[in-house]
Chains A and B, each alone.
Chain A
Amino acid sequence: MAKQMDRRRFLKVVGVTGGGAAAAAACGPGDPTTLVPYLVPPENQIPGVATYYATTCRECPAGCGMHVRVREGRAVKVEGNPDSPINRGALCARGQASLQGLYNPDRVRGPMARNAAGQFEPIAWEDAYTRIVERMGAATGDQVAFLTGHASGTFDQLVDQWLAAVGSQTRFVYEPFAYEALREANRAVFGLDVVPEYQFATARYVLSFGTDFLETWLSPVQFAREFSSGHGIVDDQMGRYVHIEPRMSMTAFSADEWVSPNPGTEGVLALGIANVILADAPDNAPFDVFRVRPLLERHDPDMVAGVCGVPAETIRRLAAEFAAVPSLAIAGGVGAQHDQAHATAAAVNILNYVAGNVGNTVQFGPDAPATASSYQGLANLTQAMRDGRVSVLFMHGTNPAYNSPSGLGFVAALDQVGFKVSFSSVMDETSSHADLLLPDHDPLEQWNDFEPRAGAFLLQQPVMQPLHDTRQTGDVLLALARQIGGGTASRFTAQNYKEYLQDSWRTRQVQLGGQGSTFDDFWAASLQAGGVHQTPRPRTVRLDRGVGQLTFDVWQGGGAAGELTLVAYPSPVFYDGRAADRAWLQELPDPVTKITWSSWVEVSPETAEEYGIVDGDMVEITSADGSVTVPAYVYPGIRPGVVAMPIGQGHTELGRYAKDRGASVYDLLDSTPTAFGGLSHYCAVSIRHTGGHQVLASAAGMSRQMGRGIAQSTTIADVRNDEIQEFHAGHAAEIPEKIERVLDEWQEAQDRESAIGNYAGDHPRWGLAIDLTRCTGCSACVTACYAENNIPTVGEESVRRGREMAWIRIERYFEGGDGEEPLTVALLPMMCQQCGRAPCEPVCPVFAAYRTPDGLNAQVYNRCVGTRYCSNNCPYKVRYFNWFDHGNANDAAYAFPAPLHLQLNPDVTVRSKGVMEKCTFCVQRIRGKQNDAALEGRDVADGEIMMACQQSCPAQAITFGDLNDPSSAVSQSAAIARGYKVLDGLNTDPSVTYLMRVRNTVEG
């Protein structure tokens, strides 16, 4: 990697960012001409010491706070901002991978224009401005249109103001996941076009109607943390979560019960539950419940059971459970968005209202404000373009050419527009049809702000000098206004977007009541904190008058014989597909199927048998609007007659990692907007086995535990009664005393050998405790580990051969589902167990695997010859071999093509071909904190050292610390009765204790 970053370039980067990120925007793009030598050290830049900048993640609209770790002028790691009430220091896999967005090798490196031959060629920025001004001069008023993604905050305001300045009102917003159904339901039931704030932390009973709140829905990192505490064990009582969806999503993995009604009947089920609640305790309901009483009375459990295919007694039980504790029902997930999804969401609103949750676990007030975004809006824009009503189109932050059904004809309509300008920083499907490409800065290079919900004003600041000749779109708009001149220019006083932003924050300072300090202080404090968070007071909402007239139809799409219901669900890895250009995410196994680098269709075992399909068989899926061919994945967690495909793959552009990979489910969806203005993610399809076959690039070996007790679970009843049954794999009997003695002697000898000379004395023993009750399987830890430890991505073909290098992996096992027991999923994050009696150590002929005094199984890359005996002897299979030269810039297998290599953590070696590697417990972080403590003359405090996986975990499932200190958090956790060691029958004495997953199963 060092080859690409020579000294000269290094000093340039250091010199410029060293001047302070505050100066970055004023400097403007382009390589600086002055070199700053370290003779005059730049302020805040100490070689070898990281600087952290607070900013906001823009990978999805949740608005998680980030701390970006910058070393010698380049961002090397993003971490959650612990002060952000949204994510509290955690970050999801997509957030972690935002670095690979910044350093993506296929970013557009400067402005480009389409030439006469139809090819893009670089042009100068000023030239581009001139061309735009010319074109705009020819267009009149509303013929200038602006399409953006969901942008709330100053940029949103600037776009509106700029459009007004050029005499147009043609603004469109398209965010593929805009939750139109949820907003429509809130409008219909409560008269409010907003998305409320959900309080998972206080909800002891969660009923999710197909809502993937741990994956992509609204604010998954926040929900994961709050859910894990709301669902957790308090005084031997535990929350309960029931997931209702035809498909068991990753979110449903965390459920205590999975109910799979007929697809499209979830709303009726919600009404049935509300019916029982109201009938059982009519006095507990709010007074205005009379508005829905006749409606609910029509939905008695027996009638609902007939529609949904869920037994009436189950409905009664769910209702009784739901009413008994503080509860929360949620709906409106994209994966459940069929054309009656607004009815489902409305029914769930009524259920929440009847159960008294509105105002408690469902709060309006701190809600996400209305957005103009809807699929209907995109359809309107498409029609306008087709009609020739748009002559100049600006597009920013959205990719409708990918994120819309092919039946909509967006691309064809786009060609009708005379002049199209894209601000995309990557060559995506939409920008590939543009006439002019004016790449925006990556969010990590930008000044900006963002308002995910009322009361949250989040700031973004550039964490490093822009990599390429890009300009922030805000700056471009202001420059264009100046160039147009006249009245347009006079509307703007700010010289650049940063000033514009600060002007807007001056107003905000007044709004927030921060007049006591100067603006500079307010600005600096806000920047440092990543923004300003306020908690607006919840407002009281009442049922809308018209609620009684609502109709609750079920989805009717999949009725015809021989047809199946296709569900297109958002990928927890790629979101709406925008993140598909990140190698880390492509290589991240899907949390459900564990497939990497490709598309698939999930088929139930029954359906697979009917069609004669096995894993990897190529299946042609045909809907009324198109057809795609993808390999099948036979998934026990999907209802027979339903097939599912994730959104996110099948790009025709978007750089080397995403292009021509898999198929896009958008090719199948019906392009007609639904009644609520959204896109239906359900459609009727027929499938056909083409006869082709391809081996799935899956990271999973066996999908069952084979009775080995790897990921163990227990029930809350057993926890309460102290009856936890630990499963000891490998031996049933006690270990004979003589064997114990031999084992102990061996371990003592190991410790003695490692603690000689300079290493004599007492040492910590580092250990982990992982609470499987909290783990949701989201895999944020995996990507965090890739980022921290310079783990190479190996590509699809190598994954097929099981050669992925993830030092931590989420093992996913299915249990039950055989007709007798319900299907459940057991999850287990597996990394090096840093065994006390490690089988890997004695077999290494050259001591490359050895034991450190503080109990780590170290791996000396330099000494490794590559016999791979250690891996054979590792029962946990957590050692990874470098089959190719992934760290060599001159090798075909190079995993960090420039400028991705700039992300490499300078504290961690990039491993070479032919050596073994594995989890080190982030030894660089341990040593870093130990050094800090030594310099300050103190001991390392418990909790001070955080491993990358632990830090990233949204559910706070991982605890790290010193096992030799009985008061440390990890020792306390490891001592809990439900703690166990994986494969403890092998006497390896692992440093990792897993706390059994506790399930709140129905008793009796």
Chain B
Amino acid sequence: MTATARPEKMAATRPTYADVTRDVVATLGNPSKAYYGLLAFVLVVLAIGVGALLYQIRIGLGVAGYTPPVMWGVYITTFVFWVGIAHSGTLISAILFLFRSTWRTAVYRTAEAMTVFAVMTAGLFPLIHVGRLWYAYWLIPYPNQRQLWVNFKSPLVWDLFAIGTYLTVSTLFLILGLVPDVAAIRDKATGWRKKLYTITALDWRGTDQQWRHYSRAYLYMAALATPLVLSVHSVVSWDFAVSIVPGWHATIFAPYFVAGAIYSGVALVITLLVPLRKVFRMERYITTDHFENLAKLLLFTGMIVTYAYVVEYFMAWYSGNQFERDAFWNRAFGDYWWATWTMIICNSFLPLFLWFKKIRRSIPALLLLSLFVNLGMWFERFVIIVVSLSHEYEPYAMGHYTPTWVEWAILAGSFAWFFTWFLLFAKNFPTVSIVEVKEVIPMPRRKMAH
């Protein structure tokens, strides 16, 4: 994690300041047909997802596959999945910034954008999931004539605040980081884009005073965002840990979820960066070294997650609690054994390949592994939520849940929603930070006259 960039290797193809500005701004050029095709595709998928949601609102939540006692299903699974995704962005942009890990400069913008869009996606799911979406605002404590208040003992209220805070802070952080870059593009832009950049650039002129304020502000924002990396997913984990459901009620949940969140987030960063780098021809800026560092982070968090799995099973056995033991036995060998083993293979076994340097430095291998980790992490949440609920205390009331097409459509729609934002972002804002990349390039010097 604290690995430093390797300037000596970078030197071989070292870009100049001018190269950086040119290359990055080039990514904002006229989109290709492929881009429009992709955008159209995700919009269609999004429309299908929205259609499924409207259908669900009209007919009732019964169109989803909920089978009591499994009262939370694909929606909450996906909610936790997206919240998890959102974590690596802040980790890379804030924590690594504070640790002065310079390798983050090339990748943090993508990670940060991913964070904001992932939180935006995650935040939809509690709404999609509740029985009366139109009254979801009742979870907000606002003064009203009926003198009704919210129950601050409920983790769902904590959730609301955690997600709300995280969305606010990560959005501000992203915008703040964009300011100097946008200003640079503003000067070259025309038309409506000029207006957009003029507004987002916040009258940036690059004066010394502005730079001084900017650096301070960025540092403060980083300091503010850092604890959120730990707190937000801890709070989300308490949705489960605070309950008495066997398989949920565990003190390990907060660190376990945070590690899992970063794990899945890093995996998605890799998944996004690989095609981005290729399409935008960013090989000079996002190098194999960057990927190797991400791979190491992936390996590290993957091992924490694996450790958490082992501890969960150990504690279930060691507690002597029959319900816990049954719940974990059911996870591994019950009706949902396939989900559990998908999770374990994807999250604990496949990443072991990352111990090999060759794999860490192979982009296709990393892309493939990151996809598996994404899948495994989705199943991790599925196993924790659905499988635990399906096998609680009352044997007569145990059940088996299978999602319906509505849930799959909305899940696909959520990816489409995420990628819509990401595609729009990638063509309108620099996905690699101009300013920060320049910071790690040695200062251009005037050539010596002989």
| Chain A interface residues (CB < 8 Å from chain B) | 700-702, 704-708, 710, 729-732, 798, 801-803, 809, 811-813, 830, 839, 842-847, 863-869, 871-873, 875-877, 880-885, 892-893, 913-916, 983, 986
Measured in the bound complex, the distance between the Cα atoms of B319 and A730 in whole Å is: 10
Q: Is the CB of B392 within 8 A of A877?
A: yes
Whether B60 sits at the interface, judged by CB under 8 Å, is: yes
Q: Tally of A-B residue pairs with Cβ under 8 A?
A: 173
**Segment at the A interface, from B154-162, B213-221, B297-305:** B154-162
Q: Which of A729, A732, A882 contacts B131 (CB 8 A)?
A: A882
Measured in the bound complex, the distance between the Cα atoms of B399 and A881 in whole Å is: 15
Q: Is the CB of A914 within 8 A of B138?
A: no
Q: Nearest-CB distance from B421 to chain A (Å)?
A: 26
Whether B175 sits at the interface, judged by CB under 8 Å, is: no
Q: Nearest-CB distance from B71 to chain A (Å)?
A: 4
Q: Is the CB of A846 within 8 A of B60?
A: no
Whether B356 sits at the interface, judged by CB under 8 Å, is: no
| Chain B interface residues (CB < 8 Å from chain A) | 59-62, 65-69, 71-72, 126, 129-133, 135-136, 138-139, 148-151, 153-157, 160, 239, 242-245, 320-323, 326, 389, 392-399
Q: Which of A700, A707, A872, A893 contacts B243 (CB 8 A)?
A: A872
Q: Nearest-CB distance from B110 to chain A (Å)?
A: 34
Q: Is the CB of B131 within 8 A of A866?
A: yes
Q: Nearest-CB distance from A803 to chain B (Å)?
A: 6
Q: Is the CB of B394 within 8 A of A877?
A: yes
Q: Is the CB of A701 within 8 A of B399?
A: yes
Q: Nearest-CB distance from A634 to chain B (Å)?
A: 17
Measured in the bound complex, the distance between the Cα atoms of B395 and A809 in whole Å is: 13
Closest to A916 in B: B131
List B contacts of A812 (CB < 8 A): 396
List B contacts of A798 (CB < 8 A): 62
Closest to B59 in A: A884
Given contact pairs A813-B396, A845-B154, A876-B393, A883 touches B71 in the complex (Cβ within 8 A)? no
Q: Which of A811, A865, A893 contacts B138 (CB 8 A)?
A: A865
Closest to B65 in A: A801
Q: Nearest-CB distance from B392 to chain A (Å)?
A: 7
List B contacts of A983 (CB < 8 A): 393-394
Q: Nearest-CB distance from A650 to chain B (Å)?
A: 28
List A contacts of B160 (CB < 8 A): 845
Closest to A706 in B: B395
Q: Which of B132, B151, B243 contacts A864 (CB 8 A)?
A: B132
Q: Is the CB of A883 within 8 A of B395?
A: no
Closest to B156 in A: A845
Q: Is the CB of B66 within 8 A of A863?
A: no
Measured in the bound complex, the distance between the Cα atoms of B322 and A708 in whole Å is: 8
Majority DSSP secondary structure for residues of B touching A: loop
Q: Is the CB of A865 within 8 A of B150?
A: no
22 A-B pairs whose Cβ atoms sit less than 8 Å apart in the complex: A701-B398, A705-B395, A708-B323, A729-B322, A801-B67, A813-B396, A830-B396, A839-B243, A843-B243, A845-B139, A846-B150, A847-B149, A867-B156, A871-B69, A872-B389, A877-B68, A881-B131, A882-B131, A885-B60, A913-B132, A915-B132, A986-B244
List B contacts of A864 (CB < 8 A): 131-132
Q: Nearest-CB distance from A739 to chain B (Å)?
A: 14
Q: Is the CB of B150 within 8 A of A707?
A: no
Q: Is the CB of A868 within 8 A of B131?
A: yes
Measured in the bound complex, the distance between the Cα atoms of B63 and A798 in whole Å is: 10
List B contacts of A706 (CB < 8 A): 326, 395
Q: Is the CB of B151 within 8 A of A846?
A: yes
Q: Is the CB of B130 within 8 A of A710?
A: no
Q: Is the CB of A730 within 8 A of B157?
A: no
Q: Which of B67, B71, B132, B392 contacts A865 (CB 8 A)?
A: B132
List A contacts of B61 (CB < 8 A): 866, 881, 883, 913-914
Q: Is the CB of B394 within 8 A of A875?
A: yes
List B contacts of A875 (CB < 8 A): 244, 392-394
Q: Which 4 A-B pairs have the closest CB atoms?
A: A866-B131, A914-B131, A883-B62, A877-B397
Q: Nearest-CB distance from A73 to chain B (Å)?
A: 33
Q: Is the CB of A914 within 8 A of B156?
A: no
Given contact pairs A708-B393, A842-B154, A802 touches B399 in the complex (Cβ within 8 A)? yes
List B contacts of A986 (CB < 8 A): 244, 393
Given contact pairs A865-B136, A868-B71, A873 touches B245 in the complex (Cβ within 8 A)? yes
List B contacts of A880 (CB < 8 A): 68
Q: Is the CB of A811 within 8 A of B396?
A: yes
List B contacts of A732 (CB < 8 A): 320
Q: Is the CB of A872 within 8 A of B71?
A: yes
Interface centre among B131, B155, B239 (most CB of A within 10 A): B131
Q: Which of A813, A867, A873, A885 contacts B244 (CB 8 A)?
A: A873
List A contacts of B65 (CB < 8 A): 801
List A contacts of B398 (CB < 8 A): 701-702
List B contacts of A704 (CB < 8 A): 395
Measured in the bound complex, the distance between the Cα atoms of B160 and A710 in whole Å is: 37
Given contact pairs A701-B396, A885-B60, A913 touches B243 in the complex (Cβ within 8 A)? no
